[in-house]
Amino acid sequence: MKPFRYERADDVSSAVTAVAEEPDAAFLAGGTNLVDLMRLEVATPEVLIDVRRLTSDRIEELPDGALRIGAAVPNSDLAADHRVRRRYPMLSQAILSGASGQLRNLATTGGNLLQRTRCAYFQNVTTPCNKRQPGSGCSALEGYQRDLAILGSSPACVATHPSDMAVALAALDAVVTVRGPGAERRIPVTELHRLPGDAPERDTVLERGELITGVELPPPPHLTASRYRKVRDRASFAFALVSVAAALDVADGTVRDVRIALGGVAHKPWRATAAETALRGAPATRESFRGAAAAELAPARPLPGNAFKVPLARNTIVSVLLELVQERR
Amino acid sequence: MSDVRARPHAIGSPLDRIDGAQKVTGTATYAFEWPVEHAVYLHPLQSTIAAGRITAVDTEAAEAEPGVLAVLTHLNAPSLTRPDDPELAVLQTDEVAWRGQFTGAVVAETLEAARAAAGLVRFAYAPREHDVVLRADRDDLQKPVHAAVFGMEAGELQDGSPADSMLGDVARALDSAQVRLDATYATPMYHNNPMEPHTAVVSWDDGALTVYCSTQGSSFSRTLIAGVLGLPPERVRVISPHVGGGFGSKVFPHSYAVLAAMAARTVRRPVKFALTRQQMFALVGYRPASIQRIRLGADGDGHLTAVSHEVAEQTAKAKGYADQVAVCTRMMYAAPNRRTTHRLAPLDIPVPTIMRAPGEGQGMFALESAMDEMALACGMDPVEFRIRNEPEVHPESGLPFSSRHLVACLREGARRAGWERRDPTPRARRDGRWLLGSGVAASTYPSPRLPGSSASIGVTPDGHHRVLIAAADLGTGAWTALTQIAADALEVPVEQVEVRIGDTALPPASVAGFSSGISSWGSAICAAAMRLREVLESDHGGTVPAQGLEVTADMPANPDEDRYAMHSFGAQFAEVRVDQDTGEVRVARLLGMFDVGRVINPKTVRSQLIGGMTQGMSMALYEHSVLDPRFGHVVNHDFAQYHIAANADVHAVEAHWVHERDPHTNAMGAKGAGEVGIVGTAAAIANAVYHATGIRVRELPITLDKLLF
């Protein structure tokens, strides 16, 4: 761990300026991921700008029924909020399936979105990694592949995004609000994270100095049945091999609307638009669910060590959708 | 042999842990917490190649950092007087024998300064092609030569057993068997992972060394540390009253204690050194991976006619180590024709060590899985199949068992588990999306005494007894159980007994390992108590003199040791649920019925047994160390990636025991309970997974991808 400076900014704009102007500065919120990475010398900032007190830690209701979640809202508070639990149960379930109680108390909404991949080679400075050190090579591609991506990966990087919360937010059409050196901007969660391409060192579309100030959840869709199912190597405190966030509206045996997002399969939370398109207007049956899942997974390019994720994702999508159909009966 | 069984007072009662209040209030002092004045801190340097030579070292930048006192490498490290143990002989050559091996150390005024400066040291290497892959078809597999250093006589395997055994004609018996099984099982590399990291806090005082160390055997650690440093043992004191788990990895002191001692000698200040979790995956041992071929033959009545168990294991080129994986097959079941072999693949990997029921842990997964497969092949119930093959005496040595209540465990366990209602058809029961299954396996572990223990007991006129022995309590309750044994041996209430352990200033003790602690240390304490009572009677007329009285006694030899085979036993029953869509396995219930002789403390023994079963579950479903063949390191080297069973994984776990004393093991009538709980759990779960799904998983861990359709 390298020595570093620690500073507190007075407001968002001075924090943004500080990070934008200093090349080796980083925002610090909950620190649950960043501090680990600093210990491992994966992250080596010269200065940490503490932003935890600068953004809202409240959840506000907007006139149209949307919720505005401050970036500093702890994961535990967001999961426990009664409006979230009632209207967006999959979001609460997703958050509670991640990390541990202690970590969720400390981790923030903004920080959760910006956590970095847990790829074992990214976290080990003695092995090459294009995300950590551009151009050094990808050790994961021919290494331990269990946790790697099956969709949207590139020869440069096959890492997955670790967040559960982000998967639910992607399914719910949430939007992040961002303040940077320029104007404030709004970015759909589905567009916040990038695919690795040939620049895997960039996890998101955020520019240097841009700070997430909040997340807006649009009014809940008329999809009363929703669920987050996380499949992993033990029952708690493990990252997803595959996770599914799904909401379903069925009338007269036909799918009226559906939202599906997948975790553990890509460099970003994976909104399953192909499956959604295939399902709208289709009969709410196992066969059409299987067909939709297959359509989504058709472009999957698994490696030998994670080929199981393709049938696992297919089965989990079908299982969750069938459960949602049964719940509505 | 004295007989303390006649007066059951403290033994058998569920006494609360005497160290419990200290632990839950955070006042128990663990190794790193010992207050040492003017201490400095060590952060180690580790090789980033798996084999080769260091060609250049650049320590300049690190040495220039504020607070840095010394940077040790092989170029400037003090020479060790007796560097004959290749694991302990740190920084003596430019050779690199595995990735992650110590190549140096930074010593600084603060932990942070040491760690930051460590990142500035640069090594250049001339790497050699390395090889870290275990395969059963390697052409360089070797018969182990001398892996036994575990307090036993020199033997080929680490428990002192020979590598091979043969009886009758296995090949011919297999040819003529009516039912045959030939199956290969595999267990991965596992890491011990105690919660408390390995730690040494060392100080030199006038040529004498004090080591606050987290160790399973302070006396054994002293012997090895003194040996490698070339000191007489009496110049080394090892202090270790509280240990936050060891699971085998703290039996040997490993290299970290030597490195810390070296650093302290160099900077002439006390040095504190605790390993990080990641460092523990390269430096303090692990359970080597195994590939096990089992062949069984049976006649038409389900009697085994042939048993063969051939093992290939990983070991380090740097230092041989061989677990006694197939030794369980030598004593579990009757069969006239028998064969076991152990072979090693010497690799460029860290040095393995004993871990959580070493040998039997891996071997009984294979044997008890094979017994399940063979029962089905014979059309028999798995419980009845085991009972049909129960031997009357040790099937290879011919010795009688000191006590063996395996059949009682199987029958009573089956009754409690509701086994008679079980439909043997696989994949025939479900609860919604969950497939349900149940399985059984037997457990066993040796119940030996290790040599080298003595105990002193002092008494004051007010009746206070002080029992001194350098034993270890790893969180198991040994401290409490020894208090109970001493109280009964002295015929006084436990309130009048104070036991002191974990310090080489006390009389020596064998290590806490091999399920031998209570048997060894308890026997020494019983002998000292008997001597105290004799001396009190003969020399003082039964009255404690004003200045008090103290006696010391060595653990007595056990005249029955060579006349009986001494083992603990058990039967474990697992109920599992397997998600039909995802292959996720949940263990709904584990029930163990054990034969561990007389139970000293039912509360702590129950904890040990259910803790062992939980470790067995963890071995079955979650844990495995992933060795990257290109780099030679363990990829998943932290608690986020090396999965140990967490609370949410553990549902109903029950441990019961038959109330039988062993007449031959020791004065208490006790047998080992530390490891038998781990043994067989993985097979019981694998057998239950087969019953639930129809899928036989022969390679641990049983991860969901192996059960996906």
pLDDT band, very low/low/confident/very high, at A222 (cuts 50, 70, 90): confident
Order the strands of the A225-231 sheet from edge to edge.
A225-231, A242-251, A254-263, A270-271
**How near does any CA of chain A get to the CA of B296, in Å?**
33
CA distances from A28 to A166, B232, B624 (A): 19, 53, 34
pLDDT at residue B709, rounded to an integer: 72
Instruction: Report the distance separating Cα B300 and Cα A55, nearest Å.
Output: 77
Instruction: Report the distance separating Cα B243 and Cα B19, nearest Å.
Output: 11
Instruction: Report the distance separating Cα B106 and Cα B60, nearest Å.
Output: 12
pLDDT of A288 over the 60 cut: yes
Q: What residue ranges of chain B are covered by domains with CATH 3.30.365.10?
A: 20-29+455-518+542-553, 34-129+193-283, 131-191+288-396, 399-449+558-709
Quote the tokens at residue B363: 């071997």
Please tell me which of the candidates B112, B583, B703 has its beta carbon nearest to residue A1.
Answer: B112
CB proximity A141 to B under 8 Å: no
CA distances from B427 to A285, B395, B431, B436, B588 (A): 25, 36, 12, 7, 17
CB proximity B2 to A under 8 Å: no
**Cβ separation A120–B119 shorter than 8 A:** no
The string over A249-276, giving b where at least 16 C-beta atoms fall within 10 Å of a residue's C-beta and e elsewhere, is bbeeeebebbbbbbbbbbbbbbbbebbb
Residue B428 carries which side chain, given as an amino acid letter? A
pLDDT tens sequence across B102-133:
999 999 999 999 999 999 999 999 999 999 99
Instruction: Report the distance separating Cα B440 and Cα B696, nearest Å.
Output: 14
pLDDT at residue B560, rounded to an integer: 97
Apex CA B652: angle with CA B649 and CA B657, to 5°?
A: 130
Instruction: Report the distance separating Cα B707 and Cα B703, nearest Å.
Output: 7
**Cβ separation A312–B648 shorter than 8 A:** no
**Cβ separation B112–A231 shorter than 8 A:** no
Instruction: Report the distance separating Cα B626 and Cα B244, nearest Å.
Output: 25
pLDDT tens sequence across B452-479:
999 999 999 999 999 999 999 999 999 9
**Cβ separation B119–A2 shorter than 8 A:** yes
Q: Which residues of B touch A239 (CB under 8 A)?
A: 640
Tell me which residue has tokens 């996720």. Answer: B584
Average pLDDT over residues A193-203: 98
CB proximity B433 to A under 8 Å: yes
Q: Which residues of A touch B636 (CB under 8 A)?
A: 120, 144
pLDDT at residue B2, rounded to an integer: 47
CB proximity B570 to A under 8 Å: no
CB proximity B703 to A under 8 Å: yes
The number of CA neighbours under 13 Å toward the Cβ of A58 is: 4
Report yes or no: A278 and A295 within 8 Å, Cβ to Cβ. yes
Searching chain A, which residue's CA lies closest to the CA of residue B626? A144
For chains A and B, CB pairs below 8 A equal 86
Please tell me which of the candidates A2, A121, A239 has its beta carbon nearest to residue B116.
Answer: A2
Give B476's strand partners.
Answer: none
Searching chain A, which residue's CA lies closest to the CA of residue B702? A233
Quote the tokens at residue B380: 């028999």
Residue A158 carries which side chain, given as an amino acid letter? V
pLDDT tens sequence across A243-258:
999 999 999 999 999 9
CB proximity B631 to A under 8 Å: yes
CB proximity B582 to A under 8 Å: yes
Report yes or no: A166 and A143 within 8 Å, Cβ to Cβ. no
| Cβ within 8 Å of A, B 207-246 | none
**φ, ψ at B445 (rounded to 5°):** -155, 145
CB proximity B584 to A under 8 Å: yes
**How near does any CA of chain B get to the CA of A39, in Å?**
9
Q: Which fold has domain B399-449+558-709?
A: Aldehyde Oxidoreductase; domain 4 (3.30.365)
Instruction: Report the distance separating Cα B695 and Cα B707, nearest Å.
Output: 7
- Choose among A245, A211, A265, A269: nearest CA to A71: A211
CB proximity B6 to A under 8 Å: no
Alpha-carbon Rg for chain A in angstroms: 20
CATH code for the part of the protein at B131-191+288-396: 3.30.365.10
- By annotation, the residues of B acting in catalysis are 675
- Choose among A127, A122, A126, A99: nearest CA to A112: A99
Kindly report whether the global pTM for this prediction surpasses the value 0.80: yes
Q: Is the peptide bond before B426 cis (omega within 30 degrees of 0)?
A: no
CB proximity A6 to B under 8 Å: no
Residue B301 carries which side chain, given as an amino acid letter? D
Q: Which residues of A touch B631 (CB under 8 A)?
A: 126-127, 139
Q: Which residues of B touch A142 (CB under 8 A)?
A: 630
Instruction: Report the distance separating Cα B444 and Cα B517, nearest Å.
Output: 17
Eight-class DSSP state of B214: -
| CATH classification for the domain delimited by B34-129+193-283, as one of 3.30.9.10, 3.50.30.10, 3.90.1010.10, 3.30.365.10 | 3.30.365.10
pLDDT at residue B154, rounded to an integer: 59
Eight-class DSSP state of B431: E
CA distances from A205 to A114, A190, A218 (A): 11, 11, 21
**Cβ separation B649–A235 shorter than 8 A:** yes
pLDDT at residue A329, rounded to an integer: 62
Residues recorded for chain A: 329
Regions of chain B with pLDDT less than 50: 1-6, 150-153
DSSP codes of every residue in B119-170: TT-EEEEEE--------TT-TT-B-------SSS-S-SSTTS--S-EEES-H
**ipTM of the modeled complex:** 0.97
Quote the tokens at residue B230: 């070339």
**How near does any CA of chain B get to the CA of A52, in Å?**
24
Percent helix, strand and coil across chain B, each to the nearest 5: 25, 25, 50
**Cβ separation B704–A118 shorter than 8 A:** no
| Cβ within 8 Å of B, A 115-134 | 118, 120-121, 124, 126-127
SS3 at position A222: coil
CATH code for the part of the protein at B20-29+455-518+542-553: 3.30.365.10
pLDDT at residue B150, rounded to an integer: 44
**Cβ separation A236–B648 shorter than 8 A:** yes
